[in-house]
Amino acid sequence: MVTIISVDADTSAGGIQAECLGNRVQFTLPSSLSAGGPLEVYAVNNTQTVLLTPHLAAQCGYTQKSDPWGNTIVSASLKNCFAEIKPAVIPNLQLWKILLYTPEEKAFDKETLQGMGYSVYSSPTRLVLRSPYNMAETFVQHVDDVDMMVFKSVVLFRDRWMLAIVESAAACPTNGASVVGQMIYWRFPLNITPLVSSEVEILEVHMGINGRRLTPEEMSSLNFGMTFTESHVVVEIPVGAPGGYYKSHALENQLHISYTIEPMLELLWKEGLDKTTYKVLFPITTPLTPWPPQIIDNTQPKKKIFDILLGYFLPDVKLLNITFGSELLTVSEIIIKGLVLQVQSFPNGTKAFNLQVPFSEPYVQVKILRPDRRTYILPLVFGFVILPEHASFSHSGVLEASLNDTVLPNAGGRCIQDIFNIRVKYGSTPRSQLKIKLGQEELNDNVLQQYEHHSNETHFDIVVPFLAPLVAIESVQLTGVMGRIDVEIYDTLNDLLVEDFSLACPFFVKMSECFSNGTITVVLPKLESLKHLVPGELSLRDPACKPHYNEEHFAYFRFDVTTCGTTRKFVGDTILYENEFTWKSDEPLLQISELHSEAEYRLGVSCIYTANATQSMIFHAVSHLKEPEADVGKGELTISLRLSQDMVYRLFYHDGDYPVLKFLKQPLYFEVGMDHSRDSRLAVRLENCWATLTKDRESTPRWDLIVDGCPNPKDPEQTVFHPVIEDDRVDIPDHFKRFEVKTFTFTEDDDSSENGGDAVARRVFVHCDVVICHVGNTADGHCYKECAATQNPLRSSSNRVLRSSSFSEEALQHVSIGPILLI
């Protein structure tokens, strides 16, 4: 028998394998021949080629199928339509009629049957009839609990004197297989009643796979089994056994698999004197089994790359795309973006996909579930297709990796004299993602512009006076206060409090002052523990003595020692004046606080004055008979700026008294003078004076007090010059200049100080440019200058340009004083 197969394919990629399997020949065409498309297989009939369509293949004894690896398997019967048998024998008998049973009898001629799709071939020694399944002339017969498709015929041959009758029948099982656990059972009847008329003797039974007969040793090594009952032979095959293959399926967008194997049974029986060989190849496919893909997470968070293996898939599964968050990328687009996407193959024929995604990719979400731990989240959806049917399915998963790579924001600070110096470091969190609260205020531009502050990309610093509204006062003594500032930092993206910092410090600043004229002034901040206290309701022993001025967070008292219920006591050579501040709430105790059941507030104040004291004065007489002689030399005339405790310029604050606490609307009295000069030809002139929030005289904002020797023309009533007269302290009045700043009105373009009437604590420094001039040189008017009144004065602005001076920089001396706390 010679069988020729023509394949329309690219044969440069590999060869075709052929082998004889009993009464069949099988061709295996590698997947490389298909070049991505379906193969076309032709049978060669002499000089003609015939395309093997599915219908023609069934009629002529061919089968064509593909395995999961894309190989095409073509099987041909040795008695196929195009087989050439040598030597050929010319038959003497002529085929006349063919009777088919359905099971009723019907008569056909050869040409009619062939036109209907049947194959009829005869020779002097052989008759071949072939019928596709499910033809109208075939029928199903139940044989020992197995359904079989039966094809029966009677063929009539004749010549001139003789008529020959050939009866034939074929029966093929359509069921009988079952799957229990991981074992396939195939039950086949031993007595095939459509083929025999009586009991038969079974002589041989053989089993094989894919048309190849197996020896008992091969069956044992493969864990195959074959047992017999009274009426059946039972074949046992493990699921996944060699010779079969798995196939992928998509069902309701989920991956499933099945296992297919084609066992073979060969039976040889004896009926009377005749022996019959029966062979059946019966493909068995297991029911679909869910096969969900597995995500094996090999991510090492310290490398900051998601590293996963997604598997395991059969060769017929192809990855089409991946959706990262909401962005869908094809496989080629993923590779172009530089992400790692590789296919890994395994010895058992499966494969998996390796994907690596850096944490820095934009579709990776970042969450902080714990302040010190950052969690990276990547939602993924993988899109697949199953070949060759192009059925699609998807698989989704969410990758998570946590890493202690967060440098948390933190706050710190220290107390210096009268201020809190707070620093906030942003850590690895962007500043725009942070909400920072100082005290009860959230930091914004309006709040920041009220205080000295500096910031950059990594941190910011802010200076807060201890009596600012941002500060909580824990306790008050007349020698100072205990203040606390709270800093809270929130991560707004993850809604987390990441830092809670508090700094408490004592501030030794005089809260009260006793003046020589019998006036007492006291500043009382509001205590944090008394949230319901209203500073305006505080009073002295005399309930009618209320605060001279008050704001929401403090009260300012000014009273005389002979008023407001002040008591007097003589102690030795001193007089002790005492009073106390009280507050009584009209609310029930339980409404005030469960932790502070006291509804009263009491604080004592006292001043001690000297009752009897002797002052000594020394006078020196100088002879005028001889003029003093001066040694030639060089020296520097020193200038000082001092703050007077009263309006008569008798007592001054010393360096150790600062910071000095003053009421915002209380006048301040300044004096500039030469301390040690006795030269009456010299005089002091004030060129410029101004106030700043820091020691740096060049810092902004600044508020002009004296400009070019005169009160600020934009607010001339704010600063007033006072004459200097000779007294027991001042010998040469020209050596001194005195001026009064009636009220500090800190008004800026950003309205930072006008927040609904609330006062803002200020910590200011006062600076002056001073010139020492010669009294006798009146040509340029440097020592004495007339100041003209300014109409429609304007309030000062923080955005100032330094005024040019008529003096050179070398001629100017610079003096500063502070800090002065203004509330």
Q: Give the model confidence (pLDDT) of 337-382 as tens digits.
A: 999 999 999 998 899 999 999 999 999 998 877 777 888 999 999 9
| DSSP secondary structure code for residue 652 in this structure | B
Report the distance separating Cα 341 and Cα 306, nearest Å. 12
Q: Of 618 and 375, which is predicted with more confidence?
A: 375
pLDDT of residue 586: 56
Give the pLDDT band of residue 488 (cuts 50, 70, 90): very high
- Per-residue pLDDT for 791 more than 90? no
What amino acid occupies position 468?
A: A
- Per-residue pLDDT for 231 more than 60? yes
| DSSP secondary structure code for residue 111 in this structure | H
pLDDT of residue 779: 55
Render 32-65 in DSSP notation, one character per residue.
GGTTTS--EEEEEETTEEEE--HHHHHHHTEEEE
Give the pLDDT band of residue 208 (cuts 50, 70, 90): very high
Question: Tokens 């003053």 sit at which residue?
Answer: 662
Q: Of 448 and 438, which is predicted with more confidence?
A: 438
Q: What domains, with CATH codes, occur in the chain?
A: 17-77 (no CATH), 94-285 (no CATH), 293-403 (2.60.40), 410-507 (2.60.40), 512-585+600-610 (2.60.40.3210), 638-747+761-782+811-822 (2.60.40.4100)
Report the distance separating Cα 716 and Cα 794, nearest Å. 9
What is the H or E stretch that residue 504 is in? Answer: strand 496-507
CA nearest 273: which of 184, 200, 213? 200
Q: Of 664 and 748, which is predicted with more confidence?
A: 664
Question: Tokens 């030794």 sit at which residue?
Answer: 508
Q: Of 340 and 802, which is predicted with more confidence?
A: 340
Residues 44 and 5 sit within 8 Å (Cβ to Cβ)? yes
What amino acid occupies position 805?
A: S
Per-residue model confidence as pLDDT tens digits over 14-39? 578 888 887 788 888 887 776 556 67
Render 258-299 in DSSP notation, one character per residue.
EEEE-EEEEEEEEETTEEEEEEEE--EEPPPEE---EEEE--
Torsion 42-44-47-48 (CA) sign: negative
Give the pLDDT band of residue 222 (cuts 50, 70, 90): very high
Mean pLDDT of the chain: 83
* The pair of three-digit structure tokens given for residue 818, joined into one six-digit string: 């502070």
pLDDT of residue 612: 66
Residues 621 and 604 sit within 8 Å (Cβ to Cβ)? no
Give the pLDDT band of residue 588 (cuts 50, 70, 90): very low
pLDDT of residue 165: 87
Q: Of 85 and 198, which is predicted with more confidence?
A: 198
pLDDT of residue 816: 93
Q: Which of 90-99, 321-330, 568-577 has the highest mean pLDDT?
A: 321-330
Q: Tell me, yes or no, if the pTM score tops 0.85.
A: no
Beta-sheet strands, E only, within 508-553 = 512-514, 519-525, 549-551
What amino acid occupies position 481?
A: V
Residues 6+ apart with CB under 8 A from 820: 643, 658, 659, 660, 662, 668, 763, 764, 765, 766
Q: Mean pLDDT, to the nearest integer, of 405-423?
A: 88
Please return the burial class of 102, using the count of CB atoms within 10 Å of its CB with bins 0-12, 13-18 and 19+.
middle
Share above pLDDT 70 across residues of the chain, in percent, rounded to a whole number: 85
Residues 189 and 199 sit within 8 Å (Cβ to Cβ)? no
CA nearest 819: which of 545, 506, 512, 466? 466
Residues 6+ apart with CB under 8 A from 350: 311, 312, 313, 314, 315
